[in-house]
Structure formats: structure tokens, C-alpha cells
Structure 1
Amino acid sequence: MSASNLPSGIQIPPGLAVATPQPDILSNVKPRRGVIGFLRRYPTIAIGGTLLLIMLIIAVFAPLFWTVDPTALAPARRTREPSAMYWFGTDMLGRDVYSRVLYGARVSLLVGFSVAFFSSIVGLAIGLLSGFNRLADSIIMRIMDGMMSIPSILLAIALMALTRGSVQNVILAITIAEIPRVSRLVRGVVLSLREQPYVEAAVASGTPTISIIFKHILPNTLAPITVQATFICAAAMITEAILSFIGAGTPPIIPSWGNIMAEGRALWQVKPYIVFFPAIFLSITVLAVNLLGDGLRDAIDPRLAKKL
């Protein structure tokens, strides 16, 4: 570069020269911002969220998707094959399988979201209490350990055996079975946060325990508990289907994916579509929730995503 190209007031010392500017090899990368950029960075959230949104639309607006009464009996039209009139065929009582599958999404999604919400709230409270109170920790965690020693499905079956079959009782039974896992997660997070310098500084300054929990501890537990809630939601939908399949869940009069598969298992070899369609919808919904949970985990902790 010649001296004439330099900014005014700058002199080149004797014996030195200024290199000529080189063209940029790589173009400037524009950072991705907004919702579109976030979804492009985490495609699992986009795929899982889209699939789950579709299932929610189907469940909420089921009457608008050319369905009929899912409980209407028509013995003269029983076990009809899938056709233009009956898209998913009919069952052994002549009920439209397509309508029953779409209405069954309401039960599965209601159970999944309700269990994830209530178990997260109760588990969060228990985990916070156990993490900050050693006496409560020694008592509550032993109870949680005892509950976790029993498989969740067996615990849910035992709880359902004490009550009558209904959607509310199914939600209660699965919630009780999932609370220990949430409480153990929150307790572990609280125990690690208690050793952080900012928490120790708050304790040394005389900050009340309640303020420490709500200002320093609780906000840092929301991210892992949100991810855990997605997996609980998926597990709850599977558990509800299992309970209904074995006759320990929702009453047979209520269309749910588990009930539909339970009623069609006797005709599985000759009429497999009765079981096939609700199983496909259940699998897609569980996959969507799991993809959403994986994407949230990667977004919350990108370092963990790189290791995986």
C-alpha cells in the first residue's frame, strides 16, 4: 500500500511497508435470529413441535374432521374394511374406527399433559424441600426411593386397583408414580446449587431461605424440569395405553387408543387395522414429544449436545 492510501496524519517509519489489503475468502456469516433461526438451529424442536401441534389440532377440532359419534353402535356394519366411506374401517360393534382414533387423541393428550404438569409441580416442591432441609431429606427421600423401587406401571396398576376406572383416577395414579423421579431430579439440582458461591454469599448476608429458593434456586431448576416434563408426558401416554389395554385404565365406553387396541386384539389376525391405526397415532405422538424434549435439552445445554 502506498503512503497516499493511508489515513491522514499517519506516517510510515523508515524501512517499513504496509501490506496491500487482501480480498475476503469467506463471506460474512449473518447470525440467525428470531424464531426461524432458532428452529433451523434445533430442527428436532421444529419437527417434534409440528407433529405435536398437529395432534393437538386433531384432538381439539375432532368434530370438524368428518367424524361421527365414536360411541354409536351399528351391528349391521361391523368389521368393515377401510374404504372411502369408512377410512379406518369399523370394529366388531360397527363403530367408526376413524372417529374413535381421532377422539382418542383427547384422552391420551389430556393424560400426558396433566401428568407432566402435576408431577412436575409436586415433585418440584418436594425436591426443593428435601434439598434445603436435611431432616426432611432423610425422611422424604427414603419414601421416594421406596416408590422408585417399584416399576411405575406396576405402581399405577396397584393404585388403579383401589379405585374405579376413570380418566381422573388414571391421571392421579400415573402422577403419583412419576413424582419420585421429578423430586430426585430437583433435589440433585438443589444440592449442586447450594454449593455455588452466589448462594453461599446470599446465606452469609442473612438472606431468608425463602428468598434464596425463589430468587436463586427455583429459576435454575426450571430448565431441567421442563425437559423432564416432556419425557414424563410421553411415558404417561404409554402408561395410560397399557392400563386401558389390560382393562385397568379408562372405562371401555370412553374412546382411547388403549381401549381401541384392547378391543381389536381378539381380531388382530383377521382385522389388524383395528389395532394398527391407534398404534400408529400413539407412536407418532410419543415420538413428537420425545423429539421436542431432545431439542429442548440441546437448546438448554449445547455442550451436552456436542458430546452426544
Structure 2
Amino acid sequence: MASASVLNPADVSPGSVKVAEPTRDIMPPVKVRKGLWGFMWRNPTIAVGGTILLLMVIMAVFAPLFWTVDPTALAPARRTREPSLEHWFGTDMLGRDVYSRVVYGARVSLIVGFAVALFSSIIGLTIGLVSGFVRWADGIIMRIMDGLMSIPSILLAIALMALTRGSVGNVILAITVAEVPRVSRLVRGVVLSLREQPYVDAAVAAGTRTPVIIWRHILPNTIAPMTVQATYVCASAMIVESILSFIGAGTPPIIPSWGNIMAEGRALWQVKPYIVFFPAVFLSITVLAVNMLGDGLRDALDPRMAKRI
């Protein structure tokens, strides 16, 4: 059998060896967008919902700059006029400009939505942390929350408003009381899963006090789900406020709000539908924007919902 010859490197001349060309990348390089623009590009739902909500906030804050007039000014000679260049959304049965009332009405809905989301999140977070981590208090607190949740939120808000006079502050208080149980149960469920984690057991074994464990180990992990829940509470609060104002149990009729505008125009719905149509459209768009923002935050903050790796 012939033996294979071994190539000696010393016998190879430099010009007889060719170096292979580097292979080309089959896949094009991936452009990673960073910063705020990259975050918005990866989360279009947050971008769209946040942009619409920001425009609504700007409209509410700078309402006098958007070619509006006094939303409470009466002009009986101009009542129930159709939309025109002079009155973009027409006038109501008292001659008030519907466009100005809709723009100023955004203030009430946004204030109520943001305030209820803030207060219910703070109160619900406190109750949920205590109930989820302190075992002996769980039974007492949760039975109270279950009792409140057994009553529909709108009925509970109507009952609370019946005990007080109509004002924006009382509306915020009534809706907050109705929304706190839902936030507290969400936080409690998160805490129940977190307190069984090894790092919490290690902190307990090391003699760390309960308030310190809650502040350092439990609270940071509840911020993300509570933030998402706050957006849904905000949207729900706007709808409940409009319902209360529509049935006469919310803000006083003198205050322009989307619910009041629709309530005043329902008697003329068949002949002058624009009085109800425009505030309803603005309410729907605002609630949709808040819900889109909440869905986007859920996808961005929950790794299990991530669409891209």
C-alpha cells in the first residue's frame, strides 16, 4: 500500500498559496435603534396611544389658545345652530358654543382620570403590600375588599355621590373608592408570588425587618404591573365620570364636561345629533388612547409578552 505523502511547509513557495477571500454575510446587519425613538419604534402602540393622549392634554391645558370662547356664555339668539365656520361644532339649546365646551370638557375628564389612577394606585398598593405579605391581616383586609368588589363600581359611585353634593372632588373620591379593591387585589396576587422567592427567604433568614423587605425586595417588582393597571383605571374613571354626569349625579351642570354636554343634548338627539356626537367622539378617542398606552406598557414591561428577542 502506498503511503500518503506529507506536505512540508518548507517546500511550499510563497507565490503558490492563495488566501481565500472572506465570506460575505448572508444576513444584512441589524440596525438597533436606541434612545426614546428606538423605544417608540419597538413599541408602536405606546407611541400612538401616548401621542394621542399628549395631544388631548395639550388641548385641555391650553384650551384658551385653541380659538375657543367662554364655554358658559349664553346666546339664546344663536341656539341649536348647525356646525359652521363660525361655530365648528354648532351650538346647543342655550346658544353655547359646543366646540368650546368640548375642548374645556377635556379638563374634567383628564383630571378625574389621572387623579383616580394616582390615588387608587397609592391606596391599593399600600393595601396590597400589607395584605400580601402580612399573613394575619390578609383575611381581614381581603374580606373588606371582596365586599366592595361585590358591588358594581358604577352603582357604588352613584351611592357615594348620593351622600355628597356634586363636585369634581367628590366624583374623584367616589370613583377612587370603587377602584381601590381591584388595584389591591392585583398587588396582593403579585406579592403572594414574590414572597415565596429565594431572595425573600434569604432576607428573612438574615433577620431583615418586614418593612425593609417590603421596601427593597417586594415594592420594586410591583411597580410594572401596577403601572399597567393604573392606565386601565384611568380609562375606566373617565367613563364612570361621564356616566355620572350624564345621569345628573356627577359634576354640576354649570361645569362643562363631556358627560354634561351629552346629557344636555340627549333631548335633541333626533334633530340635533351633533350636540351628543362630538363629546362622545372625544371621549372614545381619549379612552382608546389610554387603553392603547396600557396595552403597550404591558407588552414592554412583561418579558413574557415580548415580541422581539
TM-score (norm 2): 0.92
Cα distance in 2 for partners of 1:64, 1:153 equals 35
| TM-superposed deviation, 1:136 | 1.3
Moved more, 21-30 or 190-199: 21-30
Cα distance in 2 for partners of 1:161, 1:176 equals 14
Residue 198 (1) aligns with residue 199 (2): yes
Cα distance in 2 for partners of 1:274, 1:215 equals 52
**4+ aligned runs moved over 6 Å, structure 1:** none
| TM-superposed deviation, 1:304 | 2.3
**Residue 93 of structure 1 aligns to a residue in which SS?**
coil
Corresponding residue of 2:30: 29
Cα distance in 1 for partners of 2:306, 2:271 equals 45
**Residue 108 of structure 1 aligns to a residue in which SS?**
helix
Question: What are the within-5 Å matches in structure 2 for residues 237-276 of structure 1?
Answer: 237-276=238-277
Cα distance in 2 for partners of 1:33, 1:46 equals 15
Q: Render the CA deviation track for 1:276-304: whole Å, top value 9, x for unaligned.
A: 00000000100110000000000001422
Corresponding residue of 2:163: 162
| TM-superposed deviation, 1:27 | 1.7
Cα distance in 1 for partners of 2:129, 2:78 equals 57
| TM-superposed deviation, 1:306 | 4.7
The letter of the residue matching 2:224 is A
Question: What are the within-5 Å matches in structure 2 for residues 26-175 of structure 1?
Answer: 26-175=27-176
Corresponding residue of 1:184: 185
**Residue 91 of structure 2 aligns to a residue in which SS?**
coil
Cα distance in 2 for partners of 1:19, 1:123 equals 67
- Identical columns (%): 81
Cα distance in 2 for partners of 1:28, 1:306 equals 19
Corresponding residue of 1:14: none
Taking a change above 3 Å as real, the CA distance of residues 18 and 181 of structure 1, as seen in their structure-2 partners, is farther
| TM-superposed deviation, 1:29 | 1.0
The letter of the residue matching 1:136 is A
Q: Render the CA deviation track for 1:199-244: whole Å, top value 9, x for unaligned.
A: 1000000011111011000000000000000000000000000000
Corresponding residue of 2:305: 304
**Runs (5+) with no aligned partner, structure 2:** 1-17
Cα distance in 2 for partners of 1:20, 1:54 equals 56
The letter of the residue matching 2:36 is V
Taking a change above 3 Å as real, the CA distance of residues 18 and 140 of structure 1, as seen in their structure-2 partners, is farther
Give the aligned CA root-mean-square deviation in angstroms.
1.5
Work out the number of aligned pairs and report it.
292
Moved more, 298-307 or 265-274: 298-307
Q: Render the CA deviation track for 1:107-148: whole Å, top value 9, x for unaligned.
A: 000000000000000000000110122221111100100111
Taking a change above 3 Å as real, the CA distance of residues 203 and 279 of structure 1, as seen in their structure-2 partners, is same
| TM-superposed deviation, 1:305 | 4.8
TM-score (norm 1): 0.92
The letter of the residue matching 2:58 is I
The letter of the residue matching 1:192 is S
Cα distance in 1 for partners of 2:284, 2:174 equals 22
Corresponding residue of 2:11: none
